[in-house]
Structure 1
Amino acid sequence: MNARFLFKSAFLKLAFPLVILALAALAAPERGSAQVLYGSIVGNVKDSTGATVPDAVVSIVQVETKRARQATTNEAGGYTFATIPSGTYILKVSKEGFSPFTENQVPVTINSVTRVDVTLKIGSVSQAVEVTAETALLQTDRSEVRAELTGMELRELPVPVRNYQSMFRMIPGFSVPTNEHSVPSNPSRALRYNVNGTSASSNNVRIDGASSYNIWLPHITAYVPPMEAIETVNVVTNSFDAEQGLAGGSAVNVQIKSGTNDFHGSAFEYHTDNALRARGFFLPTNQVKPKLVYNQFGGSIGGPIKKNKVFFFGDYEGTVDRRLADGRVSVPTLGMRNGDLTASPSRIFDPFTGNPDGSGKTEFTNKVIPSTSIDPIAQKILSFIPLPNLPVSGFVNDYYATGSYLFDRRAGDTKINWNATSKLNIYGRFSMMHFDLHSPLAFGDMGPILGSGGNPGTGWGNTYSYTIAGNYLLTPHMIVDAHFGWTRMDTTSEQPDLDRNIGRDVLGIPGTNGTRRFEGGWPRFQFPNNSFATFGATEGYMPYYRSDPQYQYVANLGWIKGAHNIRLGMDLYRQHLNHTQPEHYTETQPASGGFRFDRGPTTIPGQTDSDYNAFASFLVGAPANRGRILQVPDIYHTRTWSYSFYARDQWQLNRKLTLTYGTRYEYFPYPTRDTRGVERYDFATNKMLVCGIGSVPEDCGVSVSTTMFAPRFGFAYRATDTFVVRGGYGITNDPFNIARSLRANVPVLLPFIQTGPNSRVPVGHLQDGIPQIVVPDFSSGVASIAGNLGLNTTSTDFVRGYIQSWNVTLQKEFWKNLVGSVGYVATRQVKALGLLEQNYGFPGGGKTSQVLWSAFQRDADTQLVAPIGNSHYDSLQATLERRFSNGLQLNASYTWGKGIGIYNVRESTDSPAIKIPAFYTLNRAVFGFDRTHSFNLAGIYELPFGRLKKGGHNGLSNALTSGWQLNWLFSSYTGLPFGVSASGTGLNAPKNSQRADQVKPNVQKLGGIGDTPFYDPTAFAPVTAARFGTAGFNALRGPGLVNLDFGLFRDFRMTERLHMQFRAEVLNFSNTPHFANPRSDVSGSKFMIVDNVVNSGREPSGDERAFRFGLRLGF
């Protein structure tokens, strides 16, 4: 047993009590503030002359549960109630010689501060002053940039796909949330988003305190609660308080509803189908709308188990999705299958002739490949591929496919709150979700995936999450809170025909498939840039079987005294990955084997190429690469810890100014496996080190920083009662879990890839198959590895980057219930993590020019997990909010921003397009998710007539006119950036991406959709020389996006407490298509043609107009 293991065991046993004791010993006087799971009420008490009133008694009572707290004002007249549950409170202030004061309806939400300043009047007890007024919307005591989504907004607005994350588009600084990944990997259908120009991997979502990372895909969340379960969503996007860690883009805290002294509940059903949808803009004219039946149903209930003491809440939501999934793909015509490529704009050459540099090849006469040159295995594969069924020119999108899609999901939450004593409050929550999926393929049991399932075949699994939390009032001025969170995703996804070794036994390709079930099925046959549909296995990472738990231990302590607020705490976080999945980050083929067919083998130097060249390479059986990934153990694991501690002082310098300052300390140890360390590649010796085996230390000699402090500072200046100036600055350490990049490495997985000597020479014949993979002997902990096995590694001195964020914001209350804000919001991501390819080749050099070729004959991907560069984001962000009053609520937001970083890098597992250091600056570009202007407007409007409305009528008229409500979500965005790519054949620089040449000084925007180009295609040209093109990355902008989601609701009041709501919602009310960027391959058959819609997070309603009807019963 090694020393590191002993340290871990001792730490786990002793850390929690030791830290609590340390916090108690170190605590200093403080004024309370918001906590992540709780809220606070603060204020100042003065008399009518403006003098402070010390020693006044202030008490609060939570309306929903009757839980009470009491405090006295300090010498400055200030008071604080920290760490109180969210809800509505009654606040009372009394002092001898003054009239008692009472304010009703004081709202408190999680991670926020509610300020109630009180002016006492001279008088007696009988002259009580009682106020029932809405607390100001101003953010008076916190410096961060924040937003809040209430349960009412989520319930009443026409939210697409009924997912709270859809509403993030209403918050300044957010990119448009998009649907990502397959259903098995993302069964909650969580959305992906970037915030203020930061990595999508640096967002942190917690549900009642429990982190909801999807550990394997950290840019999305593991669990999305049903809408009916959510009380509040608190979102912080800049200048985080020191308590909030592991978040660089946004910290999202989702609060599940709790029970109260009254019973409340709901039952609901929502429905849409294909008859309620418009035709898709790109649906072929000879096809009818495909079937879609989508239902969501369920309910919720909450109330007392024992009044004022124990409360419960529970909810359930079922989702049933039945579709005829459809899609357009590109398949070769009958003539092309027989060798007739006369439609090709480029010349076609025999790849098995000529010189080693690709020159001197024999050209196929009249671009026709004779039958004697057609590979018999290619012919056999084509027999499984249907012929075109659409009347299009050429072959692009010439086949329309359909198949039955089935998706069922069941989700629910339970929560118990217990007011154990007047000092102790405890709650527990348990959430669970189960799903089943069948997703069809375009060609039956193989080919491209149809619909939005994301993975072919079947999938099933469960997600679990729970929190146990509590707070204890040690003294009237000292409180401690702690919670434990646990989340686990179990998921399975299997493609069809796993029980058949099709590559080996049906097609007769040597070296494909294996002896284990997850190595069965079809091999993969790929083409560049999706020029043709993939034949065989679509995905190179299937099947997979995952079980990923995460554990979180959090404790905090505060002490209220004087004008200071010092809050101390810790956050210990552990993540596990337990996978059976033959997948690697480097370029790989599936466990069943695979081949890629490029344009280069059927061209010669100096000649342009086209998609016909790629198909010709397939037809004659001339792959550019071949390979297979071998998973050695049946299951593999990683383990990761992070340790965080913080201290923060909030100092109310005077009645107008609050300062907040503090720091976090974070430590991210090097990840391990379950019984040993991970692996590291030694660039000097071409050997792989297995950490913890033989003489190799468990951390492989890798050092990580032990000085990762993250200072935070902010101020809030209350210039007047209606005007606040705020500002803040903070550093967040990059929270990315590098175990994700290191989880599948040699010798756990052997990603074998073999390529030709350069881009114009094939690796061999298709009939030759794939060579046998040799498993290295790592019994000593060290072994040399083959040059064609890809890997990821770190240096011995691993550097973790950080994110700086700051803002200066002005907020003004214009009149009652209307508040506006405008601010400068910025971030700087320093040493952003990514994957840096170390084995790149140079222009014109081919395989032999790769960095590690001359020493080790190594041509496989060799990627370093390391900083890839810096990025910056600057913006003007503005909001205008009218709280619901007199039947109207409005929320408007606007962002004018720009972010510049490294092209092709959206998250911490991405890699720059150009790897050569001398050309690295060419990667500098605006973010691919950047939108210069973003405007959103949400509204709820109760129509001003009917019962209880001014001018309302009686009888029949009242029955017809009362209870109507309009709701809307309007969005307008400028277009997304894109650049023009080109074939890398002429570049001949392995591992690098090519850009086209821009041959006109200005690129004319033509605005065409469908068959006419969006930009002038003649402004760009292919590059046939061994150099990078001149067209900049992301230098163009695609179509903008304008959308209106609209709802018409009618409430029927059945009894005093029981009401029924009928909902008619229209998503994309104007049926305005949201076009994607045009095709950007300069040699592609549809260059600069827009033939698809953008991913705007609207699955499954689609892009076209869709009606959704619902009934909701509430009490």
Structure 2
Amino acid sequence: MLVLSATSAFGQLSSASLNGVVRDSTGAVLPNASVVLRNADTGVERNTVSNGVGNYVFTDIPPGRYTLKVTAPSFTTKQVSEFVLAVNQTATIDVSLAPGAQAEVVSVEATSEQLQASTAELGTVIATKQVNDLPLNGRNFTQLLSLTPGVSPISVSQNNMGGRSGGFAAPIAEGSSFSFPSINGATNRSNYFLTDGMNNFAAFLSTYAVPPIIDAIQEFKVVSHADSAEFSSVLGGVVNVVTKSGSNQFHGSAWEYLRNDAFDSRDAFLLPGNKKPAFRQNQFGASIGGPVDLPTLRNNTFFYFAYQGFRYSQPISANILVPTATQLAGDFSALCTAGFTNGVCNNPAQQIYNPFTTARSSSSSSGFTRQPFANNIITSNLIDSRLVGFIQKVYPPAGAYNAATNSNAVDTDPNTQSQNEYNVRIDHTFGQKDSVWFRYSRIESTVVSPNNGNLPGLLKNDAIPGRNWGGNWVHTFSPSLQLQALYSRTKVSDNGVTKMKGVDATAVDQAAGFSPDFASNFSGTSGWLLPSLGLGNNLVSGGEIIQKTPQATDNHQFSLTLTKLKGSHTFTMGGSYITSVFSSPISYESLGFSSTQTNDTNGNGGHSLASLLLGVIDNANRRNVNEKTRLGGLVSGFFQDSWKATSSLTVNYGLRYDLTLIPPYGTIDTIGQQGGIETGDPNYTTGTYVLQYPPPPCSVRGVAPCIPSIMLDASGNAVACNPATQPCLPPGTLPPHVVVDPRGRISHNTYTNFGPHLGFAYRLGESMVLRGGAGVVYDNWAAVSQMSQNIEGDWPGIGQLIATSLNKPGTGTAPNGPPTVTAQNPFAGSGSAGIPAPTPFNSGGVNWFYDPNIKNAYAYQFNFGIQRQLNSTTTVTGSYVGSLTHRANIGGMYNTALTPSPAPNPQSRALFPYMIASFYDRSVGFADYHAFQMTLNKRFSSGLAYQVAYTFSKALDENDGWFGAEGKNVVDPYYPRASLSPAGYDLPHILTVNTVYQLPIGQGERFSTKSHAVDYVLGHWQVNGILTVRSGQRYSVTDGEDQANTGNTGWAGYEQANLVGDPNSGSCPSQNGLPGLPAHSRGCWFNISAFAKPKFGTYGNLRPDAFQAQRYWNIDFSIFRQFPLWNESRHLEFRAEAFNLFNTVIFGTPHSDINSPSNFGLVTSAANSARVMQFGLRLVF
């Protein structure tokens, strides 16, 4: 009897394993039988013998095609014909030998599709044929992740575009599709990427570091919910890509792929009269693999090399809106289309007001009133001519206004990208006991982008090198004992500079009167930088940035795994250490202007440009930091046993320990530098500010970071030292509520992350398996690197200053109504003159802080399923999959008022009134996921392969990600359970179907004319496709104001609207004399009358992400024509690929801020791209 089944490969996620039992014809086990495994491509053989209970095992087998031979004295030889071993698979071949002469060989066949009969893990292999032939826009492998059940392609992360235009991950190709999915209900950041089992992970943004070349990929697999303790370091999926190895024959390919705007369809949301964006794209390369044919290396050493180049150019013609000369002269009369009565606009929403006339008033709901500017004209004596000069120097002059595009200027800077990628792999076998391989992957990318939609002439130049290399050594001590050692290195840098062409920033900034402590004195550049002006009202913005990142990703990986076969047990144990370090000096500054400062104080009227002319700012930001972290990473150890309890039952159990070493911020060499080690972080649980490494007094160092001289006011709060009024405290005295961490670090590691795992697989006959498993898994990587550097430049430094809601009547910067903070020096008193503010508890202290006691999220994961083999190549699998996540991240504005109320001064209702509200992350959240997942899988045979994957699921969480910047915002951070609702990546229904089909026409096929010439013309066609159907994306209906009056003014969108009707029926109200559109139309996705603003001082009655956009469906299709050259193994291939074949328009999420009535309910973008065509030519040999 011969049975071949699959399990997870304990010890080698990137390779395969083979085991089984040798018996005689009576069923008795046969010890000491010789077992030989032979690679059909390389001819390399591996030998072992069965142990005392007849068991044998091979581990760390490169995926590929193999044969097996089993011999024993006085028994016939059993030869198992060619079968396939896939990545992360263990095949079980039980062999029965009959009595007879050993020279007699009996051949049997192994099925090419195997049941997963020894483990309960979830995972789907994407094989070589699918990787090479399915249509991929830009040939990025992450698009194939969505072919796996449980994968939601919706991303709410900051990394939903990858490193497309530079950043903290190796860039993807412009114009290509990139997937950053949620897997089995985990966040987008909760995945992990391996290449050949080696770490290939960009920890900052939680994606791959160096992209593999498609033609160098043999196959890959997404593993999740494993009952093995070895690979459980993230809550989502472990994505492992296996690269190709050479064989005894030379094989290779060369290719060219072409994209051109002439082949593509027009975007449905492109305004009439606008042309399609022009672009040119070429992707080309070559690969070759084979033996190293030298006398001492022949039949033992093999290589594979691949190169890919990418060139992209897109001339930009972006319509932008810039200030007009009339506006810069202070004339906003055109803003009022309703006409004036006695100099006041008849429409209050079109009137601008004088902020310097703000006065208290009991008759106003805000408590303040302002005087309107007569006829919306600002008097010349109030206009800041220096800021007007800045606009005139940096902004292009306004042309004629185009109402259709809401623009009066055009940005024509091109967008270009050049990439070169290399991959080389060497495999070598030293006899029967040792084998090694080494791989080196490299990418060089240069991206020059105009920041489309920003200021013309403002170009971002990113030079991004990436490296991923390492090797693996396997030593076999005996047939029952094996050791594996692995080392890898991953490093990605980003030398990013954004500068304005032809503008002298020093002269322009000084003429504008900007303080050097705001616009200069940067560590990343010797000069001044142009600040970004955030003008609102659809006006263009943008500023200069210096961000050279030598260590965006910099990791070492060390791993040892020992496998021991003893009786019916396979014991695996081992450990690994993956280092993590980050450094990124960054310099920039920005000014934000809002209509708030020139409205009537009750939300009516105002204009951001009017606020700029008056020099009255709303917010400001300055970063001047030398970001560096100390060494961190992950230390892991595990023990695992796979126990063949009976011939039908396998039980897997193990224990894993993870120690996430959160990288402490700052290094000793940054002492005295802005954004260095001398920084701090608030603790909103204890009401303290924790200093990591205290600097000397400012009287000693003279410049920040330093401890300023202070005295205490009547309330006991720290204020700037003024000896003329009262004695100052001794130099170096810390302000009240400021403490020093004696360990010299902010974060606390968690030392209790033990994760038990248990699973079983039970074979019900020869064609069905029942399996289930459960385990505790910790999220060891998600956002750890980014979080650890978020405190850079904070008090007592002035490297990172953020001020929000400036000049708002009744607040600290406008206590009596009129504004006090100017655009020229927005941080006066909060880091001016190079000295920090007296205390960290002021408006300059807002940042993306985190709880010093933050911990890894963990989940109870479980699954139960059944798999049936339908025929020799096809299986169907159905599984229930669930997880309960605890200690999930809750990010948002903390130290806001504990309850909503219309009472003034919400800060007085905060838990710690002396501390300002700020962004903050805590591990106090909860999430759960429940799903039914089904897969129908046919491996490639007889010219056909297909996979059908369906998921019916519900994913709930309280917050989708980190920093209050990813996905939905938690309504009340002190009671996150009130925000438990569908996750931003929750898609109840997901169906994907992919197929590769060689048409059976031509010589040797089912349909043949028997004429070689005719068959040559009609034959050699192949069609491929991917069908995707899924539920619509989630979105919230919000109120962009702090309507609950909790003091959460720094982050709009936490407040949910009130639902007062049925949003899915009826129509939107008529506008401009036109009838209202029905719900679920482009101009009215929901009935806007079904929503209302919450009463001031209350929360809305909705929960986040309560609604869904349009259901999504798409077909990507390709057709190939092969032209054989000499024989079938050498051919030229023409490819035509269409993405969104039928040019279907799927509406994106609508505008859903009830506080923006002009576009509330309006859909202005598509969730998919218009049809894109790609043509390719490939030479295969």
Same fold (TM over 0.5): yes
Q: Distance in 2 between matches of 1:213 and 1:180?
A: 13
In the alignment, is the contact (CA less than 8 A) between 1:658 and 1:715 conserved in 2?
A: yes
Q: Are positions 1:913 and 2:973 aligned together?
A: no
* Counterpart position of 1:586: none
Distance 1:287 1:80 in 2: 65
State the distance in 2 between where 1:550 and 1:909 align.
26
Q: Residue type matched to 1:429 in 2? A: R
Which of these residues, 1083, 1088, 1095, is aligned with residue 1155 of structure 2? 1083
SS of match in other structure, 1:1061: strand
Instruction: Tell me the equivalent position of 1:209.
Output: 197
8 Å Cα contact 2:209/2:466 also seen in 1:
yes
CA 1:1076–1:296 in 2, change beyond 3 Å: closer, same or farther?
A: same
Q: Which residue of 1 aligns with 2:1134?
A: 1062
Alignment of 1:657-1056 (within 5 A): 657-672=649-664, 673-675=666-668, 680-681=680-681, 683=683, 686-691=688-693, 697-700=742-745, 703-736=748-781, 738-743=784-789, 744-745=791-792, 746=794, 747=796, 749-753=799-803, 755-756=805-806, 758=808, 764=820, 766=822, 768-772=824-828, 788-791=844-847, 795=851, 797-835=853-891, 837-841=893-897, 843=900, 848-850=905-907, 857-859=914-916, 861=918, 863=920, 865-905=921-961, 913-914=969-970, 916=972, 920-953=976-1009, 954-984=1011-1041, 986-991=1043-1048, 993-1004=1053-1064, 1012-1023=1083-1094, 1025-1056=1096-1127
Judging changes above 3 Å, is the alpha-carbon distance between structure 1 residues 576 and 478 closer, same or farther for their aligned structure 2 residues?
same
Partner-residue secondary structure (3-state), 1:167 = helix
Q: 1:905 to 1:461 in 2, by over 3 A?
A: closer
- Cα deviation code 1:14-60 (max 9, x no counterpart): xxxxxxxxxxxxxxxx9985622321112233455555444433221
Q: Go from structure 1 to structure 2 and tell me whether the alpha carbon gap of 1:816 and 1:327 turns closer, same or farther (over 3 Å shift).
A: farther
1:292 partnered with 2:279: yes
What code does the residue aligned with 2:444 have? H
Q: Tell me the distance in 2 between the aligned counterparts of 1:675 and 1:51.
A: 68
One-letter code of the match for 1:313?
Y
Match of 2:575 in 1: 570
Partner of 2:157: none
State how 1:438-457 maps to structure 2 within 5 Å.
438-442=448-452, 445=455, 456-457=459-460
1:487, distance to aligned residue in structure 2 (A):
0.3
> What is residue 1178 of structure 2 aligned with on the other side?
1112
Corresponding residue to 2:187 among 199, 214, 221? 199
- How far the C-alpha of 1:771 sits from its partner, in A, is 3.5
Distance 2:818 2:1095 in 1: 18
Report the CA distance between 1:345 and its aligned residue. 6.8
Aligned to 2:37: 60
Report SS of the residue matched to 1:232. strand
SS of residue matched to 2:986: coil
Query: How many residues were matched structurally?
Result: 1052
8 Å contact kept, 1:243–1:646: yes
- Deviation of the 1:800 alpha carbon: 2.8
1: CA distance between counterparts of 2:324 and 2:833? Answer: 48
Partner of 1:160: 137
Amino acid at match of 1:368: N
Which one-letter code corresponds to 1:1003 in the other structure?
P
Alpha-carbon distance change, 915 to 471 in structure 1, aligned in 2, over 3 angstroms: same
Change (3 A) 1:660 1:325: farther
Question: SS at 2:228's partner residue?
Answer: coil
Give the Å deviation of 1:70. Answer: 2.4
* Alignment TM-score, normalising by the size of structure 1: 0.87
- Counterpart in the other structure of 2:250: 263
Name the % identity: 22
Moved more, 987-996 or 476-485: 987-996
Contact conserved, 2:359 with 2:818, CA < 8 A, in 1? no
- Letter in structure 1 aligned against 2:197: G
SS in 1 for 2:1013: helix
Question: What's the secondary structure of 1:1079's corresponding residue?
Answer: coil
User: What is the rounded CA distance, in whole Å, between the counterparts of 2:1012 and 2:967 in structure 1?
Assistant: 68
Are 2:68 and 2:79, in contact at CA under 8 Å, matched by a contact in 1?
yes
1:533–1:972: structure 2 CA closer, same or farther, 3 Å change rule? Answer: farther
2:809 and 2:819 in contact (8 A); partners too: no
Q: Counterpart amino acid of 2:1116?
A: D
Matched-pair contact (CA < 8 Å) for 1:1046–1:1069: yes
* Counterpart mapping for 1:480-499 below 5 A: 480-497=483-500
In the alignment, the residues of structure 2 paired with residue 88 and residue 776 of structure 1 have an alpha-carbon distance, to the nearest angstrom, of: 69
**In 2 relative to 1, CA 915–983 (structure 1 residues): closer, same or farther, beyond 3 Å?**
closer
Aligned residue in 2 for 1:1100:
none
Change (3 A) 1:823 1:787: same
Residue 463 of structure 2 corresponds to residue 460 of structure 1 = yes
How far, CA to CA, are the matches of 1:568 and 1:793 in structure 2?
A: 38
Q: d(CA) in 2 for partners of 1:701 and 1:1036?
A: 39
- Give the whole-Å Cα distance in 1 for the aligned partners of 2:562 and 2:209: 29
CA RMSD of aligned residues (A): 3.4
**SS of corresponding position for 1:430:** strand
The 8 Å contact of residues 1044 and 1070 in structure 1, kept in 2 or not, is answered as yes
The counterpart of 2:553, out of the listed 542, 548, 553, is: 548
| Structure label with greater radius of gyration | 2
Q: Structure 1 residues 322-331 or 980-989, which shifts more?
A: 322-331
The reply on whether 1:628 has 2:694 as its aligned counterpart is no
1:332 Cα deviation (Å)?
A: 6.7
What is the CA distance between 1:167 and its match in structure 2?
Answer: 0.5
Aligned to 2:376: 368
Give the whole-Å Cα distance in 1 for the aligned partners of 2:534 and 2:691: 33
For 1:915 and 1:840, locate their aligned partners in 2 and report how far apart those are by CA, in whole Å: 11
Query: 1-side partners of 2:678 and 2:1145: how far apart?
Result: 48
Residue of 32, 48, 52 corresponding to 1:71: 48
- Quick one: structure 1 residues 931 and 775, their matched pair in 2 at CA, closer, same or farther if it must change by over 3 Å? same
Tell me if structure 2 keeps the 8 A contact 1:32–1:560.
Answer: no
- Deviation, 1:468, is 1.6
Alignment correspondent of 1:90: 67
Q: Distance in 2 between matches of 1:31 and 1:558?
A: 14
Structure 2 residue identity aligned to 1:515: N
**What SS class does the counterpart of residue 123 from structure 2 fall into?**
strand
Residue in 2 that maps onto 1:229: 216
Other structure's SS at 1:351 match? strand
Instruction: State the partner residue of 1:587.
Output: none
Q: 1:1110 to 1:763 in 2, by over 3 A?
A: farther
Determine which of 351, 355, 362 is the counterpart of 2:359. Answer: 355
Distance 1:561 1:31 in 2: 18
Amino acid corresponding to residue 1114 of structure 1 in structure 2: V
2:168 counterpart of 1:179: no
Q: What letter matches 2:876 in structure 1?
A: G
* Correspondence 1:428 to 2:405: no
> What is the match of residue 1093 of structure 1?
1166
SS in structure 1 of the partner of residue 201 of structure 2:
coil
In 2, are the aligned partners of 1:609 and 1:1083 still within 8 Å (CA)? no
Q: How does 1:110-121 map to 2 (within 5 A)?
A: 110-121=87-98
The change in CA–CA distance for 1:92 and 1:839 in structure 2 (over 3 A counts) is: same
Alignment partners' CA distance in 2, 1:692 and 1:104: 70
Distance 1:240 1:333 in 2: 65
Picking from 652, 656, 663, the partner of 2:648 is: 656
TM-score scaled to structure 2, two decimals? Answer: 0.83
Determine if contact 1:840/1:851 at 8 Å carries over to the other structure: no
Please state how far the C-alpha of 1:423 moved relative to its aligned partner. Answer: 0.6
Question: How far apart are 1:389 and its partner, in Å?
Answer: 6.7
Choose from 234, 252, 265 the match for 1:247. 234
Q: Among residues 318, 337, 355, which one is paired with 2:309 in the alignment?
A: 318
* Bigger mean CA deviation after superposition, 275-284 or 1007-1016: 1007-1016
Shift of residue 696 of structure 1?
Answer: 5.1
State the 1:1062 CA deviation.
0.9
Worse-matched range after superposition: 61-70 or 890-899:
61-70
